[in-house]
Structure 1
């Protein structure tokens, strides 16, 4: 079956009532024009609110591993268990809210520009500070089980967004398509009601959405500090050229 036919047969987003940002990474052209396999790699917002109908749909996907990037308090507040699904907590503690509160305590009213700066700082922090967690994700992608996997955080947009970008770039997907996948959050994610009621809508629109400037802040740091994604994968995450070829063999369709 040709890649375009395979893509037509599958859908990127799935109709979960309790997870608006759940989607498949399949179909994007990678190394040699080979498409990323469908129904192998999924990204999502948190999974604790899946309804009974959602859980039935989830079971049809064959997902056997769930990687949770939420911090300890986040995961404790919205825990989940799925029969037959191995749970892998790789906590990356959220920092934006803490930094925003620090600004407010100093007497400064948080502006949209401040929020953009905080988000960019957070993404730059992913590159070095969270490297052990992303390295662990790639070890799971390369382990012997080779079963479908979902990775997520709370909203599925920042920690998850950077992880998805790293996976797609490792598979040879072009940066413009990686950015396209990243920005899909803005069309899909439904912000929880009542969140940030004391914060201006202008600021909330920054904190609960994604912008090219956020992901680019991290990718520019990767390029600046490591000379590119391939070197970052090898030097910071332990995914050398042989491992990158193994990833391609596992997650790209045959020529």
Structure 2
């Protein structure tokens, strides 16, 4: 399989898409036992509707993706559907639901138009989402089923490839034995590879807020915060002192399956 990241490059570097930001792979990260995550297996990013340019479509096709897991809500998928890709199995599982089990939708423009109150509510909802996204979540059960059944290479995504996708990437890396700090650093890479998106969000925000506040909010809404991932990992650790117990209880990954996954995807 063709790889698009030189193995001497820093793991987690964005792939060279022209019109689509924040497409990355998990290959190259070292595990705590000295092995390395295989290249060309796990790809994370934004919605595929962002891959429009011919050169970007060709690059995506060259990855050999077998399965696409869409972590967005039903309305997000309906408003910006992924294209049909020949030979690719498409699976949709919303990764963010409210306390009543309903999909959480983010109409960004409507939220911004509501001023400080609605923006604050959105930020609280996203932050709170990190505390419960890892639990009773069929999207991440599905992600590990894809791994276990070797339906790879897999591309998993939400809208921006940062929050719901970030949790999915973290769970994979932790399951493979990558250390906690490396997992957090991979999550934070989003902040350096979405400059166009951040600018667009900032311009939108300027319609509703002062330039200073717009810039501040753009950094938060278009990027990610270390405290968010720490909150997710902290809640997992509080409930399950051993990550293996979390995987078994919440992701359907028992000890034998975990060993098999590590054998398949580490080198």
Compute the displacement of 1:9 (Å). Answer: 7.3
When normalised by structure 1's length, the TM-score is 0.85
Q: Is the 8 A contact 2:67 2:151 kept in 1?
A: no
Highest RCO, 1 vs 2 (Cα 8 Å, sep ≥ 6): 1
When normalised by structure 2's length, the TM-score is 0.81
Deviations 1:93-112 (A, max 9, x none): 464848xx89x97x963677
- Aligned mates of 1:48, 1:97 — CA distance in 2: 17
What is the aligned-residue RMSD (CA, Å)?
Answer: 2.9
Number of residue pairs matched?
A: 244
Which residue of structure 1 aligns with residue 148 of structure 2?
A: 142
Relative to 1, partners in 2 of residues 1:96 and 1:215: Cα closer, same or farther, differing over 3 Å? farther
Compute the displacement of 1:241 (Å). Answer: 1.2
Deviations 1:184-239 (A, max 9, x none): 00001232725444354223321221111001111111011222422111111111
Relative to 1, partners in 2 of residues 1:60 and 1:179: Cα closer, same or farther, differing over 3 Å? same
- Structure 2: any 5+ residue segments left out of the alignment? 1-5, 97-102
- Structure 1: any 5+ residue segments left out of the alignment? 1-5
The SS at the match of 1:109 is helix
The correspondence for 1:109, drawn from 117, 121, 144, is: 117
- Aligned mates of 2:258, 2:227 — CA distance in 1: 27
Compute the displacement of 1:125 (Å). Answer: 2.0
- Aligned mates of 2:259, 2:48 — CA distance in 1: 31
- Aligned mates of 2:242, 2:204 — CA distance in 1: 37
Which residue of structure 2 aligns with residue 203 of structure 1?
A: 217
Segment drifting more, 212-221 vs 10-19: 10-19
Relative to 1, partners in 2 of residues 1:204 and 1:118: Cα closer, same or farther, differing over 3 Å? farther
Q: Is the 8 A contact 2:73 2:105 kept in 1?
A: no
The correspondence for 2:95, drawn from 92, 96, 99, is: 92
Which residue of structure 1 aligns with residue 266 of structure 2?
A: 252
The SS at the match of 2:248 is helix
The correspondence for 2:238, drawn from 207, 220, 224, is: 224
Which residue of structure 1 aligns with residue 248 of structure 2?
A: 234
